[in-house]
């Protein structure tokens, strides 16, 4: 089966600009996650969707970050305006429903904010 797809793979922007990331989860996976991973740290959950509803967005900086998952499949994550500290890898993951539901990760988008 095809894995989680993300684009772009790399993005360089200047602070105060906006940027958007796209994710296509594994077919049939109801749950979709966006993570921020800063170099040398573990992933930090930004937002979790179950189908097209938000399950958890408690760590999403809502003044600048937004995410949507229209139709319960693809998702986009937007940052507007970007800050220097947003430089990180943005990982999208998906999982089936169920107790074990290990997460499958996409290749990530490496964002550099100058």
107 binds other proteins (CB under 8 A): yes
Judged by beta carbon, residue 71 or residue 100, the one nearer other proteins is 100
Q: Which residues, 53 to 92, sit near other proteins by CB under 8 A?
A: 56, 91
Q: Least separation, in Å, of the C-beta of 25 and other proteins?
A: 13
User: Does a cis peptide bond (omega within 30 degrees of 0) precede residue 8?
Assistant: yes
Longest dimension (CA), the chain: 42
Q: DSSP per residue over 21-63, as a string?
A: EEEE--TT--EEEEEEE-TTS--EEEEEEETTEEEE-TTS-TT
* From candidates 48, 66, 70, 94, binder to other proteins by CB under 8 A: 48
25 binds other proteins (CB under 8 A): no
CB 15 within 8 A of CB 113: yes
* Sites of contact with other proteins (CB under 8 A): 40-45, 48, 56, 91, 99-100, 102-108
């Amino acid at each position: 089966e095809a894995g989680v797809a993300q684009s772009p793979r790399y993005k360089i922007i200047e602070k105060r600009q906006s940027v958007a990331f796209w994710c296509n989860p594994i077919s049939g996976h109801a749950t979709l996650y966006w993570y921020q991973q800063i170099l040398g740290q573990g992933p930090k959950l930004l937002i979790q969707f179950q189908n097209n509803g938000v399950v958890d967005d408690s760590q999403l900086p809502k003044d600048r970050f937004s995410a949507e998952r229209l139709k319960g499949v693809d998702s986009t994550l937007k940052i507007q305006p970007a800050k220097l500290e947003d430089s990180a890898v943005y990982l999208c993951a998906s999982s089936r429903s169920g107790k074990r539901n290990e997460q499958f990760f996409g290749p990530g988008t490496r964002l550099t904010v100058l």
